[in-house]
Amino acid sequence: MKLTANDALVIVDVQNDFCPDGSLAVSTGDGVARTMTRVSAAFNEQGARVYATQDWHPAGHSSFEAQGGPWPPHCVQGSRGAELHPDLDLPDGCVNIKKGGDPEVDAYSGFIDSDLEEQLKTAGVTRVFVGGLATDYCVLNTVLDARRIGFETYLLSDAIGAVNVEPGDGERAIAQMVGAGAVVITAGEATTL
């Protein structure tokens, strides 16, 4: 089975604030950025589509600790932390999806407070391949929503990283995604299906 224009790579929130030295750092974030660069190039070469989501919060977002939320300020619109990781080199034609612009909406999922669902459906996408940051929050919710919407969904197991607020959160998130019908494969398997 080859990748086609009906397939999409969804790169979730590979942004500076979710990588080492960021305000909500995932220790493997740099490696995820490099892996997703290779995978996105392979998808592009095979005619598949590439989408990259970005947390894009206004200052004072409801998820920030100062507003009673659980997180330190992160991915504030226009900040260095909100920028995509410098090692994430995306192909021409990659569609950027900003989410979390509504100050009252958490938008863990790439499908919330964005037009990702509309973009994928308009493009005729039927299969999505998801990687990025963080496994136990935005990747988890993006995969669960992709399944709920009805996409055949693959999780790229070597292109994700967890926050692990509680030990094992990442593993539990993967189990939850599998329970929802996602298939776990490696990035290499995705590009040689």
Catalytic residue numbers read 13, 99, 138
Q: Are 42 and 9 in contact (CB under 8 A)?
A: no
Q: Which residues pair with 131 in a beta bridge?
A: 11
- Residues facing residue 130 across a β-bridge: 10, 155
In the 8-state DSSP scheme, what is residue 139?
I
d(Cα 23, Cα 14) in Å, to the nearest integer?
A: 13
The distance of Cα 78 from the centroid of its chain, to the nearest Å, equals 19
